[in-house]
């Protein structure tokens, strides 16, 4: 990565591995011969988050320049990150929601495919459905019109209309499905899988929402493209997170098929996914000390012929609770 000044002359060069550690860094006195030279060292580096720095002045070839003395820590909003150690330097404020994972773990140990824009576990406009099948979207900590637009692939104008200029309060601000329908044409807002807001937990929340909503409508299942946007080429999405049942947070891993890449007949590239688990099977593996599989039917979107199954992995001591929750 390199940065330049307004005339296009390089001022800084950095080389970084996936977790953001600086392997090499160079600064340049920029400017064409006979012009004033400048040297700017941006504190916004690999992560685009500002590093803590103190500037010290030195002289090089009779030109006074400033170079940074850095702690190496980047501030993400909720806490500091050390790229050299590849960990957060304090506990995640939402750590109680993710008991199966170290509160210091960064990017789910997968920096190629995962991001963490705030340094805190995902908060979202959580989709809900009531007993009558009415949808709504409830704000959580840190939400606003911008996060609504990003999460569901809306324009900022649409999000502003839905929020309506009101103060967004976590757990209190609620956008009704009818409001969403009046602005977007549908009471279901699709989670945009190409957004940085499409975290593992949001994918799980959206899938549970899709199951609940489609069951309230009396359907056998739901179309993947009816609840998720940006599904193209995302054949199967693996999401690790939790589901809260009776006040208990139970970890799980969802393996969700979303896109049919081999559709030579030109048929829909959506998938019709069953909304009820049909069995629990014990299995071995390292995901949990003792693991169960909850299996769901998967159907062709046009013919509704069964094509196989998809699954949720859960610890054995919580699988019955998840099964009963999703079966109802």
pLDDT tens sequence across 26-63: 656 555 444 444 555 566 666 667 676 544 444 444 55
Strands annotated E in 16-163: 24-27, 51-60, 63-75, 80-82, 87-88, 126-129, 135-138
Question: Of all residues in the chain, what percent are helix, strand and coil, respectively (each to 5)?
Answer: 20, 35, 45
Could you tell me the strand order of the sheet in which 135-138 lies?
126-129, 135-138, 174-176
Q: What is the pLDDT of residues 233-255, one digit of tens each?
A: 899 999 998 999 998 889 999 99
Q: What is the pLDDT of residues 77-130, one digit of tens each?
A: 778 888 878 888 888 766 765 666 688 877 767 776 566 666 766 557 999 999
Question: Are 252 and 322 a contacting pair, CB within 8 Å?
Answer: yes
Least Cα distance to 151 among 178, 190, 182 occurs for 190
Least Cα distance to 170 among 117, 120, 108 occurs for 120
Least Cα distance to 121 among 251, 267, 306 occurs for 251
Residue identified by tokens 């939790």 is 242
Query: Lowest-confidence range among 37-41, 214-218, 228-232, 238-242?
Result: 37-41
Between 91 and 180, whose confidence is greater? 180
Q: Any residues with CB less than 8 A from the CB of 179 and at least 6 apart, and which?
A: 162
Least Cα distance to 190 among 162, 223, 142, 168 occurs for 223
User: Three-class SS of residue 324?
Assistant: helix
CA angle 327, 108, 69 (to 5 degrees): 155
Question: What pLDDT is stored for residue 273 in this prediction?
Answer: 97
Q: What is the pTM of this model?
A: 0.68
Question: What pLDDT is stored for residue 284 in this prediction?
Answer: 80
Average pLDDT of the segment spanning 280-291:
85
Write out the two tokens for 311: 């699954």
Please, which pLDDT band fits residue 24 given cuts at 50, 70 and 90?
low
CA separation for the pair 206, 203 (Å, rounded): 5
Query: Lowest-confidence range among 46-50, 161-165, 224-228, 292-296?
Result: 46-50
Question: Are 239 and 194 a contacting pair, CB within 8 Å?
Answer: no
**Per-domain boundaries in the chain:** 2-75, 93-327
Average pLDDT of the segment spanning 194-223:
93
CA separation for the pair 252, 262 (Å, rounded): 29
CA angle 169, 248, 203 (to 5 degrees): 60
Residue 78: how many other CB atoms lie within 10 Å: 17
Residue identified by tokens 């390292």 is 286
Averaged pLDDT score across all residues of the chain: 82
Question: What pLDDT is stored for residue 224 in this prediction?
Answer: 96
Please, which pLDDT band fits residue 266 given cuts at 50, 70 and 90?
low
Question: Are 235 and 256 a contacting pair, CB within 8 Å?
Answer: no
């Amino acid at each position: 990565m390199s940065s330049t000044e307004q005339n296009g002359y390089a001022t800084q060069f950095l080389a970084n591995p996936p977790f953001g550690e600086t392997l090499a860094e160079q600064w340049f006195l920029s400017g064409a011969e006979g012009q004033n030279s400048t040297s700017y060292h941006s504190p916004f580096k690999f992560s685009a988050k500002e590093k803590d720095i103190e500037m010290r002045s030195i002289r090089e070839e009779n030109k006074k320049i400033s170079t940074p003395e850095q702690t190496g820590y980047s501030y993400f909003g909720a806490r500091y990150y050390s790229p050299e150690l590849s960990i957060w330097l304090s506990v995640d404020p939402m750590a109680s929601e993710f008991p199966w994972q170290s509160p210091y773990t960064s990017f789910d140990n997968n920096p190629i495919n995962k991001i963490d824009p705030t340094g805190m576990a995902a908060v979202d406009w959580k989709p809900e459905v009531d007993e009558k099948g009415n949808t709504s979207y409830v704000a959580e900590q840190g939400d606003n019109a911008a996060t609504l637009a990003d999460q569901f692939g809306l324009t900022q104008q649409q999000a502003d209309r839905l929020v309506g200029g009101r103060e967004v309060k976590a757990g209190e601000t609620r956008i009704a499905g009818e409001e969403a329908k009046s602005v977007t044409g549908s009471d279901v807002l699709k989670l945009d899988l190409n957004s940085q807001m499409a975290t593992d937990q949001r994918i799980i929340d959206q899938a549970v929402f899709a199951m609940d909503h489609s069951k309230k409508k009396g359907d056998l299942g739901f179309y993947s493209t009816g609840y998720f946007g940006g599904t193209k080429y995302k054949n199967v999405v693996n999401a690790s997170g939790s589901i809260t049942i009776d006040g208990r947070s139970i970890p799980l891993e969802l393996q969700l098929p979303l896109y049919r890449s081999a559709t030579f007949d030109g048929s829909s590239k959506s998938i019709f996914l069953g909304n009820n688990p049909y069995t629990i099977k014990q299995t071995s593996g390292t995901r949990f000390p003792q693991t169960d599989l909850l299996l769901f039917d998967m159907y062709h979107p046009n013919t509704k012929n069964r094509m196989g199954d998809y699954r949720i992995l859960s610890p054995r001591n919580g699988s019955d609770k998840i099964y009963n929750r999703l079966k109802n």
